Amino acid sequence: MLRRFTHPIASLVVVLAGCSGAFAAKAPARRAVSDDRAAAAAISRYRAQHGFGPVQVDAGLTRAAAYAARANAAAGSLSHDAGGSFQARMAMTGLPRGLKAENLGAGTATFEQTLAMWQASSGHNANLLLPEARRIGIAHADASGSSYGRFWALVVSQ
């Protein structure tokens, strides 16, 4: 499903495959991946291969990503509206208006696997390669009662 939010411009993408909404348990949160700077470096290397500039970790975007990962883990399924609409969640960050995009994923154990999944998806890949992107937040939350196990969220911004 591809959704575009144009005020401010944002591209929202999620690939859903066999999602189940039956799971509803608390999902322990992680502030970010084990090394969010390494994740930003990996995304920056990928962007450089395609002629785009680097990204760096932003604390506000990381909080937004952690919130999205926890909300999706608690729901046991992927939705850009888990925990509130994308626009509302971005407004809560206190970050200035502008381009923001979100990638969600589930069922992968590592950031490297998740990045490869996003690279293989045209919509997710487009978010990774947004020319204006300069900052990211990346996080995951585990939901042991879900068939997915781990839920990921990446928020990208100018």
Distance separating alpha carbons of residues 2 and 140, to the nearest angstrom: 22
pLDDT over 90 percentage in the chain: 53
Domain boundaries, the chain: 2-14+32-157
pLDDT tens for 8-32 read: 323 333 332 223 232 223 334 444 4
Find, among 73, 115, 70, the residue nearest to 89 by Cα.
70
Cα atoms in the 13 Å half-sphere on the side-chain side of 158: 9
**Whether pLDDT at 155 is above 60:** yes
Question: What pTM, to 2 d.p., does this model score?
Answer: 0.76
Task: Work out the pLDDT band at 34, boundaries 50, 70, 90.
Answer: low
**Whether pLDDT at 140 is above 90:** yes
Topology at the third CATH level for domain 2-14+32-157? Pathogenesis-related Protein p14a (3.40.33)
pLDDT number for residue 145: 81
Distance separating alpha carbons of residues 48 and 137, to the nearest angstrom: 19
Find, among 79, 67, 66, the residue nearest to 13 by Cα.
79
Distance separating alpha carbons of residues 68 and 81, to the nearest angstrom: 9
